[in-house]
């Protein structure tokens, strides 16, 4: 109820292309496994790297499994994993960023220095280190990606919140004696919702790229689970035949990242 | 005009400008505006904010703001047809033929480059002068603008100059290409009155020596009287009246012009007798500063120095002083959002803690702050109704629609405004909502920091009237901070004059007009532009121009010593005593009544 009132006005620009696109991918991720024609691990053909046919819309892979099925499962895990880690990263980032902006002083300095330290490590490197230390599993991957993208989100939110906190309407509310929770929910969040949502979109794209990279290097999701990166990797041999098995997942990654990026860009230009 | 006069240098015929916001429909900003400016003449464009005066001025340079376009009409400037010029022609036209001096020079300069580089840039890019001659020319212009140390000021960076200096340097930059037309867009609005005089005089000297044709955009009629030969009065994008300055100011024919003239005439709004002398807020020897705390317990930079102010219940106390003298700092200290290092405050007899967090809910409720900039003060994500309702519920007041409408009615806003968002309100409306938010708390004292500074005359007059009505109806006391002496005189019971953080004079508003007065009060008084054309000449003749660089304030003497025309030997060594004049005014000066009359 608290959020229901002010948000819609600031969501309207976002409720256009980027949000629709994100929704579409999310739907695909959730429904994919249900509509897939075969089981993901099932060997359904004797030909490997088969071309497009009526039975196998995207051909078969290096073991003779149905590529469409595996692509649907792979898309599902990529999108859901990345979405989960993005939500965690941005949720924590926004919370800490706003706290730092509101409290200033020591809290702000310590948090900011720490985040600067984390952000200076290349994301692929920290991903590899996390996997090497804790092994590769879904929780480790999600948490590692959340930690990797938290500082960036923190920085964006802190900057946005700082510029809002210095406005006189926050001063007026503070002089009234309003609680911090009221300041955050009613006065600060609604004024940064637009840029923060754009930032969430960007972090999601980074996460997709990182997960795909890790999986392509063979340290991401482990078989029998698949994602877009590992699909590309395992079918790499098919490249010489021009098999859809390797082209399809690579294109899916491109559509996911570039499409969302363009949509966000277009929205930015509109504003 | 007779048929023998030369053709006008600027001709505007049936100009129409249209604009659109985001994806909204196209609306008319300016419709059917026509006027001429003869060579060597200065034309004033007068109007309130939103009347389209800046849009017209920009159109003369062939420029339209994003979303706006020149829909129809003819624009001829110095033989050029502005509307048919291509991009490169326009560029050289803007460099060589027409120049634009904007309101806020501070924002127009690149902070990372020395000023000289920026001043001579137009001459270099348009290949008008070689570098060395451009520099010499710039120095000559600095001299003409009466800037201090004209030979070396060009080496400074923008942040090393004051607002008034930057405004004159900006004018030098505009004049370096010797343009035929110069457009002044409210060039002194951001300056205080004492600085304004120097800048206006510099502009007039330049005009006399360079002989350009000018267009002066402003809402201040007193400035029009000093600067312009003819004036065009605009309202909502159409011309109301046009004529020689004298006729517009003295014998306006249109009702709107008469309204404008009336609004800028000083008149007394406060007719109430002085309330009894029980102070509601008592500020005693307040010291406020910024920076690290020194061993003596005071911060490194003292901004407000030992100021004492009693505010009586039911009165308006005015605080006046030039920009940077510490007015806002004082108000913020009283409001509890700026720590103070010395002195005491009492509110309704109770001590008032320095920090807002330590004050009682009653004290917080009864002491409300209305801040200077209405744009920053309202949450853009909340509707007016939501903002006001929150205040009502917070103080456990009735928050029904009827109560909300009552609050809006207090500031004379229609009930429909409750559903609007701040971006959908005009400046004056925002300021009223800002006031309404303070009043919704049922305060006993409202601190107003320059609430009319950003508003044009007519709207500001309405806000001042409103303040006085509320004072009578609700018995609210006001602490009114301003640098506008007219506004101060018309609404205040008592007045404190602040200079460099010292209260140099404290008197009743009526005693402010009568001698003896503090030398600074007298200087302030004589700096307020008046509507008759000879005023500026008179002031310049009387005061001369201020020396460019003033000495620092003596550590133990009078704070006004470096600028005081009547200083005596004592002033540099001993702090001046405060004595009471027969009129009741408390004056802080070594000289006595006979010398200050
Ligand atoms: N946070 C700060 N740190 C250091 N100095 C400051 C700070 N805020 C203001 N000052 C200085 O304190 C002095 C007084 O500032 P203040 O805002 O009170 O002036 P003012 O009288 O309100 O001026 P104006 O009419 O321009 O609003 C100025 O010299 C300013 O530079
Ligand atoms: S004390 Fe001296 S310097 Fe100060 S205002 Fe009086 S005469 Fe001028
Ligand atoms: Mg101020």
CB contact under 8 A, B356 and A174: yes
Q: Write out chain B residues lying below 8 Å of A174, CB-based.
A: 337, 356
The segment(s) of chain B belonging to CATH 3.40.50.300 are 8-264, 279-513
Please identify which residue in the block is written with the tokens 């200065």. Answer: B42
- The confidence band for B376, taking pLDDT boundaries of 50, 70 and 90, is confident
Smallest CA separation from ligand 2 atom 6, residue: B589
- The confidence band for A13, taking pLDDT boundaries of 50, 70 and 90, is low
Taking the mean position of all CA atoms in its chain, how far away is CA B311? 25
Q: Would you list the DSSP string of A22-65?
A: HHHHHHHHHHHHHH-SS-TT-B--SSSS----SSSTT-B-TTSB
Q: Which ligand is nearest to the CA of B569?
A: 2
Q: How much is the pLDDT for A11?
A: 54
Strand order of the β-sheet with B27-37 is B27-37, B10-19, B68-77, B80-81
- The confidence band for A2, taking pLDDT boundaries of 50, 70 and 90, is very low
Mean pLDDT of chain B: 86
Q: How much is the pLDDT for B550?
A: 62
pTM, two decimals, is 0.77
Contact B483, B325 (CB under 8 A): no
CA distance A158 to chain B (A): 18
Q: How many Å apart are CA B70 and CA B15, to the nearest integer?
A: 8
Whether the predicted pLDDT of A14 surpasses 60: no
Residue scoring higher pLDDT (B269 or B185): B185
Q: What architecture does CATH give domain B279-513? A: 3-Layer(aba) Sandwich (3.40)
Whether the predicted pLDDT of B293 surpasses 70: yes
Whether the predicted pLDDT of A94 surpasses 70: yes
Please identify which residue in the block is written with the tokens 């806003």. Answer: B413
CB contact under 8 A, A172 and B437: yes
Spell out the residues 6+ positions from residue B172 whose beta carbon is closer than 8 angstroms to its own.
B119, B138, B141, B142, B144, B145, B147
Lowest mean pLDDT among A223-237, B10-24, B238-252, B402-416: B10-24
Q: How many Å apart are CA B527 and CA B536, to the nearest integer?
A: 9
pLDDT digits (tens, 9 = 90+) for B138-196: 999 998 887 888 888 889 888 888 778 888 898 889 889 889 999 998 888 777 788 88
> What DSSP element (H or E) covers B261?
helix B255-264
Mean pLDDT of chain A: 86
CB of B195 shorter than 6 A to ligand 1? no
CB pairs under 8 A between A and B: 55
Spell out the residues 6+ positions from residue B317 whose beta carbon is closer than 8 angstroms to its own.
B309, B311, B477, B478, B479, B480, B492, B493, B494, B495, B496
Torsional class of B548: left (φ above 0), alpha (ψ -120 to 50), beta (otherwise): alpha
Smallest CA separation from ligand 1 atom 18, residue: B326
CB of B290 shorter than 6 A to ligand 1? yes
Contact A65, A122 (CB under 8 A): no
**Substitution target from B381, B389, B418, B437 for chain A, most A beta carbons within 10 A:** B381
User: Quick count: other Cβ atoms within 10 Å of Cβ B231?
Assistant: 28
Residue A180 touches partner B, C-beta closer than 8 Å: no
Residue scoring higher pLDDT (B458 or B562): B562
| Closest-CA residue of chain A to B438 | A172
Q: Which of A191, A157, A171 is nearest to B423 (CA)?
A: A191
Q: How many Å apart are CA A63 and CA A224, to the nearest integer?
A: 13
Sign of CA dihedral A212, A215, A220, A225: positive
Give contacts of B 426-465 with A, CB under 8 A. 437, 441
Smallest CA separation from ligand 2 atom 1, residue: B589
Q: What topology does CATH give the domain B8-264?
A: Rossmann fold (3.40.50)
Q: How many Å apart are CA B534 and CA B387, to the nearest integer?
A: 48
% of chain B beyond a pLDDT of 90: 27
pLDDT digits (tens, 9 = 90+) for B382-440: 899 999 999 999 988 888 899 999 999 888 888 888 988 888 887 778 888 998 999 89
% of chain B beyond a pLDDT of 70: 97
On whether ipTM exceeds 0.85, the answer is no
Smallest CA separation from ligand 1 atom 5, residue: B290
For residues A85-98, give the mean pLDDT. 94
Question: Domains in chain A, start-ordered, CATH in brackets?
Answer: 56-270 (1.10.3720.10)
- The confidence band for B2, taking pLDDT boundaries of 50, 70 and 90, is very low
User: Quick count: other Cβ atoms within 10 Å of Cβ B277?
Assistant: 9
- φ, ψ (nearest 5 deg) of residue B459: -65, -40
- φ, ψ (nearest 5 deg) of residue B351: -65, 140
**Substitution target from B379, B383, B388, B392 for chain A, most A beta carbons within 10 A:** B379
Q: How much is the pLDDT for A268?
A: 57
Per-residue tokens: B282: 């008592």
User: Quick count: other Cβ atoms within 10 Å of Cβ B572?
Assistant: 15
Spell out the residues 6+ positions from residue B155 whose beta carbon is closer than 8 angstroms to its own.
B114, B115, B116
């Amino acid at each position: 109820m608290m959020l229901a009132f002010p948000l819609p006005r600031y969501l309207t620009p976002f409720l256009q292309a980027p949000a629709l696109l994100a929704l579409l991918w999310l739907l695909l991720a959730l429904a994919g496994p249900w509509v897939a024609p075969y089981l993901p691990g099932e060997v359904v053909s004797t030909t490997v790297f088969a071309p497009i046919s009526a039975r196998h819309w995207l051909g078969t892979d290096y073991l003779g499994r149905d590529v469409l099925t595996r692509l649907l499962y792979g898309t599902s895990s990529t999108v859901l994993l990345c979405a989960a880690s993005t939500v965690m990263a941005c949720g924590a980032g926004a919370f800490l960023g706003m706290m730092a902006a509101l409290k200033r002083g020591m809290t702000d300095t310590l948090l900011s220095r720490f985040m600067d330290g984390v952000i200076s490590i290349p994301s692929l490197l920290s991903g590899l280190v996390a996997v090497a230390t804790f092994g590769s599993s879904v929780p480790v991957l999600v948490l590692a990606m959340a930690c990797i993208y938290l500082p960036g989100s923190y920085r964006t939110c802190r900057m946005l919140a700082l510029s809002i906190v210095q406005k006189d309407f926050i001063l007026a509310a503070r002089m009234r004696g309003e609680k911090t929770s009221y300041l955050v929910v009613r006065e600060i969040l609604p004024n940064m919702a637009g840029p923060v949502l754009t930032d969430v979109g960007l972090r999601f794209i980074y996460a997709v790229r990182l997960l795909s990279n890790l999986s392509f290097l063979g340290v991401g999701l482990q078989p029998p689970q698949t994602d877009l990166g590992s699909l590309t990797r395992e079918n790499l041999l098919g490249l010489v035949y021009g098999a859809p098995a390797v082209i399809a997942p690579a294109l899916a990654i491109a559509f996911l990242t570039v499409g969302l990026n363009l949509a966000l860009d277009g929205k930015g230009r509109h504003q | 005009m007779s048929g023998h006069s030369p053709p006008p240098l600027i001709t505007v015929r049936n100009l129409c400008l249209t604009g659109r916001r985001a994806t909204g429909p196209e609306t008319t900003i300016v419709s059917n505006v026509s006027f001429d400016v003869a060579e060597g003449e200065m034309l004033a464009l007068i109007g309130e904010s939103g009347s389209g005066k800046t849009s017209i001025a920009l159109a003369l340079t062939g420029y339209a703001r994003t979303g706006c376009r020149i829909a129809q009409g003819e624009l001829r400037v110095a033989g050029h047809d502005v509307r048919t010029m291509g991009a490169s022609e326009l560029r050289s036209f803007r460099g060589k033929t027409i120049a634009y001096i904007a309101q806020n020079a501070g924002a127009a300069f690149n902070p990372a480059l020395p000023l000289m580089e920026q001043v001579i840039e137009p001459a270099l890019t348009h290949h008008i002068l070689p570098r060395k001659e451009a520099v010499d020319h710039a120095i000559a212009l600095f001299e003409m603008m009466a800037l201090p140390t004209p030979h070396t000021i060009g080496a400074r960076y923008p942040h090393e100059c004051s607002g008034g200096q930057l405004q004159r340097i900006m004018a030098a930059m505009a004049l370096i290409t010797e343009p035929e037309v110069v457009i002044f867009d409210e060039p002194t609005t951001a300056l205080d009155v004492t600085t304004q005089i120097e800048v206006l005089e510099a502009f007039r000297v330049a005009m006399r020596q360079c002989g350009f044709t000018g267009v002066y955009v402003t809402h201040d009629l007193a400035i029009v009287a000093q600067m312009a030969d003819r004036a065009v009065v605009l309202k909502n994008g159409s011309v109301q009246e046009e004529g020689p300055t004298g006729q517009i100011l003295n014998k306006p024919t249109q009702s709107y012009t008469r309204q404008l003239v009336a609004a800028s005439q000083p008149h007394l709004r406060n007719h109430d007798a002085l309330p009894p002398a029980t102070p509601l807020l008592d500020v005693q020897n307040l010291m406020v500063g910024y920076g690290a705390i020194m061993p003596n317990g005071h911060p490194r930079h003292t901004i407000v120095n030992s100021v004492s102010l009693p505010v009586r219940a039911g009165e308006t106390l005015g605080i006046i002083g030039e920009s940077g003298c510490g007015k806002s700092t004082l108000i913020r200290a009283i409001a509890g959002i700026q720590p103070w290092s010395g002195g005491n405050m009492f509110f309704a007899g109770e001590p008032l803690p320095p920090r807002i967090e330590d004050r009682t809910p009653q004290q917080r409720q009864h002491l409300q702050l209305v801040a200077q900039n209405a744009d920053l003060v309202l949450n853009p994500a909340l509707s007016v109704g939501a903002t006001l309702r929150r205040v009502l519920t917070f103080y456990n007041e009735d928050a029904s629609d009827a109560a909300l409408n009552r609050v809006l009615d207090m500031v004379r806003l229609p009930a429909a405004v409750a559903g609007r968002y701040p971006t959908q309100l005009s400046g004056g409306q925002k300021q009223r909502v800002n006031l309404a938010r303070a009043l919704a708390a049922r305060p006993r004292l409202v601190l107003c920091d320059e609430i009319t500074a950003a508003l044009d005359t007519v709207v500001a007059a309405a806000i001042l009237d409103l303040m006085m009505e509320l004072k009578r109806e609700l018995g609210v006391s006001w602490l009114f901070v301003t640098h506008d002496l007219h506004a101060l005189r018309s609404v205040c019971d008592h007045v404190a004059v602040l200079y460099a953080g010292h209260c140099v004079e404290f008197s009743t508003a009526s005693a402010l007009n009568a001698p003896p007065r503090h030398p600074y009060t007298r200087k302030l008084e004589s700096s307020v532009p008046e509507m008759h054309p000879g005023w500026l000449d008179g002031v310049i003749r009387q005061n001369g121009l201020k020396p460019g660089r003033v000495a620092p304030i003596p550590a133990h003497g009078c704070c006004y010593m470096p600028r005081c025309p009547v200083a005596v030997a004592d002033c540099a060594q001993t702090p001046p005593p405060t004595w009471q004049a027969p009129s009741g005014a408390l004056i802080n000066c070594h000289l006595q009544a006979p010398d200050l009359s």
